[in-house]
Amino acid sequence: MKSNSAKSTAVVLAGGKGSRLMPHTAELPKPLVEVGGRPVVEYLLKRLKQGGVGRVIMAVNHMADRIEHSLDDGSRFGLQIEYSHEPAPLSTVGPIRLIKDLPENFVVANGDILTDLDIGNLYRYHVERRAELTVATYRGTEKIDFGVLEIDSGNVVTAFCEKPDYHFIVSMGIYVFNRSVLDLVPDNKPYGFDQLMLDLLRHKRRVCALPHDGFWLDIGRPADYEKAHVEVERIRGMS
């Protein structure tokens, strides 16, 4: 991406209440919760800037004034920051439908993620594959604290594994959208990323994934917010 191109646009989703992160979000919107003495959204903004983004549209609702006061016009980050206000909570994708001047392809990111993902590479990957939506993905592992059995149709045990690791692939909360996907999004109604994915797959639209094996935390989850404080030096080094 070139920073002076219309393609260098990102929408940052920052309208949620952050209920899972109480009491940290009692007086602050989630993107302004601090890690290492800085609001978490600042790390994301610097990562966007490094990836070639020049224009950021903050989709805001809850405590919007606090976010605008903190980030202002974005000049101190070397960015042009604008604000799009939801008239009411519209979930994760609904707010994007309100923005009328988006380029053909643009980055979308949740405002509470920490990552060393190369966003410029994500954008190029999306364009090269002519995708309508590209999802940055992360391979997670979870320990199952039970003995797991496999059973056949006759209820005969065929295999057993004590406390296995379960591997899964998750969305990192950062994407590249082609503007064409917005024709699936209703006007002024709550509409989430889960609904968009299901609708895209049902209509056989082209969705791609870019695996990332570096650093990623979603600080909307309390355990990961605590982990962010442990990893603070690594996080500082990413920006």
Domains of the chain, start order: 9-136+171-237 (3.90.550.10)
**d(C-alpha 91, C-alpha 191), whole Å:** 6
Share of the chain above pLDDT 90, in %: 67
Confidence class for position 3, pLDDT limits 50, 70, 90: very low
Do you know the residue count of the chain? 239
Q: Could you report the per-residue pLDDT of 68-122, keeping only the tens digit for each?
A: 999 999 999 999 999 999 988 899 999 999 998 999 999 999 999 999 999 999 9
The predicted pLDDT at position 167 comes to: 83
Q: What is the rounded average pLDDT for all residues in the chain?
A: 89
The predicted pLDDT at position 226 comes to: 85
| Mean pLDDT, residues 121-126 taken together | 97
pLDDT at 6 over 60: no
Confidence class for position 2, pLDDT limits 50, 70, 90: very low
User: Considering the entire predicted model, what is its pTM?
Assistant: 0.88
* Per-residue burial over 108-147, b = 16 or more CB atoms within 10 Å of its CB, e = otherwise: bbbbbbbbbbbbbebbbbbbeeebbbbbbbbeeeeeeeee
Residue whose structure tokens are 């191109």? 5
